[in-house]
Structures are given as structure tokens and as C-alpha cells.
Amino acid sequence: MNALLKDKTALVTGGARRVGAAICRRLHAAGANVVVHCNRSRHDAQTLVHELNGLRPGSAVLVQADLLEPGTPLELLQRTVSAYGGLDVLVNNASSFYSTPLGQIDANAWDDLMGTNLKAPLFLSQAAAPELRRTQGCIVNIIDIHAERPLADHMVYTAAKGGLLALTRSLALELGPEVRVNGVSPGAILWPDGPEWQDEVERQRILERSVLKRVGEPDDIAGAVEFLATAPYVTGQIIAVDGGRSIVL
């Protein structure tokens, strides 16, 4: 348990799988009630919620919604407050990720990548701001080291995450002093599902261009989220959790 999170409420978008699930487990283990948001991964989300409630009955709920629908931000906030009476920690984790080589970018890819990585965090943070001000809460955005160091063939994703980095600092300015806003920028934590990331030679090349020479774990990100959720004098900051990759890129 973490005394600063005990009986607090955290909403984690994209919380069903991978890094999102690790964040949910970490905040729950620290004592928080967790609202697990998902869009298409309902089965995984239900399994996670069942697991968490088995450890502490009534401590987790599932909310399924499309973050790109206009009414979703207010719906997520209302359902969170209805479940637990408030909101203390908002983690904007949900993200689309795939390549968009120049010359092949279309409007659908733009809307999806910008929508999940930038638009949704903005409008959800805006909807949650009054409640977070009331609870003296915080926002943690999951960004990417490539927000500052572009990833080849991922122009739209890189631009969206760059926007999220700027949004994080802007929100810290706008919502202070009541609400703290920070970000975590992962490096090589879990390999993406796409076929271009399954080549072992390419994976080793990436890891060699880091200081620690190894892939990270989802709980490395979750630990940084817990720290930022409980660091009362930290706001407007972006922590790279990347094994030192960003300093040698």
C-alpha cells in the first residue's frame, strides 16, 4: 500500500492490456480503486477487473467506450464519479500505433492516430479538470521518447506524441496549482504487435542503441506513473523510462 494512493480513484484509459494493465495493477496494489477503460479489448478488461476485485472486492470497474466519440470524455468522468465518488488520478494511456510512410498517409490514419494520442487526452483532461481540481488530483500522460526524436515511417504518430508532450506542459500551466500534470515517455518496453517489429536482428539493433542493452518491463512504466501520482512538488515534467536509449539516439 501507498498511503498517498490508498482509497483514491484512478481512471486508466486503454487499461486492459500491456502497459495499461500494468499501470492498473500497480495503482491498485498501492491502494487505489481503479476504473479500467477499454474500447475493443473487453474480454481482457473483464479478466483484469475480476482479478483486481478478487484481491479487494469492489475496487475495480470496467468502462468500455470509444475515445473518439464526442460524448465519451464526459461519460467516462461521470461513470467514474458514480462508481467511487470522485477522481484523483487520470492516466491517459490509450494509443494507436502503426507506420504511416510519407506518400501513404490518408485522412483515416491521421484522424485515428491524432485522435487517440492527442485529441482524446485533451478532451478527457478538460472534462476531468473540475473534478481533479476539487480533489487536488493529477494527470499522467503516457508519451513516447519518439515525441522528441522522430521514428522513421511513423510521421503521424510522432507528431501526435509530440503534441501530447506539449499538451502535458500546457495542462500543467493551465491547471496548476490545484492539479499536477506530468508525462512518462517509454522506450523499448514491449515490442509492438506489427510484423515489422518481429525481426530479432532489428530488435537487437535497437537494444544496442541503449545504455542498459535490454528491453524494459511494463511495470517499469507503471512504477514511474505511481511516482508521479504521489510526487506533490512535481508538475510539467516528462520522465523517460527507456534504458537510456534517448541519450544515445
Give domain status of residue 3, yes or no: no
Report whether pLDDT(205) > 90: no
> Whole-angstrom Cα distance, residue 97 to residue 116?
9
Q: Which of 70, 74, 84 is nearest to 34 (CA)?
A: 84
Contacts of 15 (CB under 8 A, 6+ apart): 21, 23, 24, 34, 35, 36, 37, 38, 45, 48, 91, 93
pLDDT at 198: 75
Q: Which of 194 and 69 is assigned the larger pLDDT?
A: 69
Domain assignment present for 75: yes
Report yes or no on 4 lying in a domain: no
Number of domains in the chain: 1
* pTM of the model as a whole: 0.96
pLDDT tier at 206, thresholds 50, 70, 90: confident
Beta bridge partners of 35: 11, 61
The pLDDT value recorded for residue 189 is 87
Q: For residue 187, is pLDDT > 80?
A: yes
Structural domain contains residue 26 = yes
Mean pLDDT in residue range 169-182: 98
Catalytic residues: 157
Question: Higher confidence at residue 103 or residue 194?
Answer: 103
Provide the residue range defining the domain that includes 37. Answer: 9-244
What is the pLDDT at residue 128? 98
User: Is 25 inside any structural domain?
Assistant: yes
Residue 2 domain flag: no
- Mean pLDDT to the nearest integer, 181-209: 85
Residue 1, Cβ density class (10 Å: 0-12 exposed, 13-18 middle, ≥19 buried): exposed
Residue 225 lies in a domain: yes
What CATH number did the domain enclosing 107 receive? 3.40.50.720
Q: What is the pLDDT of residue 219?
A: 97
The answer to the question of residue 180 being in a domain is: yes
Q: For residue range 3-32, what is the model confidence (pLDDT) as tens digits?
A: 999 999 999 999 999 999 999 999 999 999
For the stretch 31-86, pLDDT in tens is: 999 999 999 999 999 999 999 999 999 999 999 999 999 999 999 999 999 999 99
Which pLDDT tens digit goes with each residue over 117-174? 999 999 999 999 999 999 999 999 999 999 999 999 999 999 999 999 999 999 999 9
Q: How confident is the model at residue 115 (pLDDT cuts 50, 70, 90)?
A: very high
